[in-house]
Amino acid sequence: MKLNIKRSMDENKKIELLCDHYKDTFTHIKEALKLRDKLFIGVLFLVAIFLFQLYSPKDYGDSISTLISTQLSTKNNIDLEFISTLLWFILLATSIKYYQTVVFIERQYDYIHSLEELISSSFDKKAFTREGGSYLSNYPKFSDWTFFLYTIFYPLCLIFIITVKIINEYSLSQSCNFLQIINAIFYLAILVSSILYLFLVHFKK
């Protein structure tokens, strides 16, 4: 009889630990979701600058020169090529961090689903299915649409825009310089990262 009581207490302790771990894991996911949204907006902002530069190079140059001159209180000529390289670098850093965050969230959701199954096995009826069975059952079409936009349409658009951008930079230049080589390296890094992201999200085991 004492042995049964001890085993029962051990089971209760196990469930308590699992529940605490479940809450901690979900807290990490919520924090990652906030970071993902901020990074996504950051990438969109940088892409918008690239589009502005492609659509109206003169207005872009005037706007950047005015903005920097105002902020730094200087009348010196602004090196737009250097600014372009700086934007490429920021886009690379932001997009890679965004992809890392999304992959982390996906892995955490897989993990939290396994935790829900483990906790539910200790109950007579299904429990702790908020992020697992209950969320995935009757999955709305709009959620499928947003998943497509985030994981297929967005990275493909990013690949298309940066490809047009790098081609435009080389077509307008009379000769290849150091900054253009750096831009090409940043472009390739973003391209490879985007392709790997697509494979990780859609062809994961």
Model pLDDT for residues 129-142, shown as the tens digit of each residue: 555 555 555 556 77
Predicted TM-score of the model (pTM): 0.81
Model pLDDT for residues 61-109, shown as the tens digit of each residue: 788 777 777 776 666 667 788 889 999 999 999 999 999 999 888 888 7
Model pLDDT for residues 158-195, shown as the tens digit of each residue: 999 999 999 998 887 777 788 999 999 999 999 999 99
Please state whether 74 falls in left (phi above 0), alpha (psi between -120 and 50) or beta: beta
With 90 as the cut, is the pLDDT of residue 146 above it?
Answer: no
Cβ atoms < 10 Å from Cβ of 96: 16
Sign (positive/negative) of CA torsion 188, 189, 193, 194?
A: negative
Q: Which of 97, 88, 90 is nearest to 197 (CA)?
A: 97
- Average pLDDT of span 28-50: 93
With 90 as the cut, is the pLDDT of residue 21 above it?
Answer: no
Contacts of 91 (CB under 8 A, 6+ apart): 43, 46, 47, 50, 162, 186, 190
Pairwise CA distance, residues 200 & 205, whole Å: 9
With 70 as the cut, is the pLDDT of residue 123 above it?
Answer: no
Give the model's pLDDT for residue 26: 79
- Average pLDDT of span 7-22: 70
Helix 80-120 to helix 178-202 angle (10° resolution) is: 20
Model pLDDT for residues 51-68, shown as the tens digit of each residue: 999 988 888 878 877 777
Give the model's pLDDT for residue 2: 42
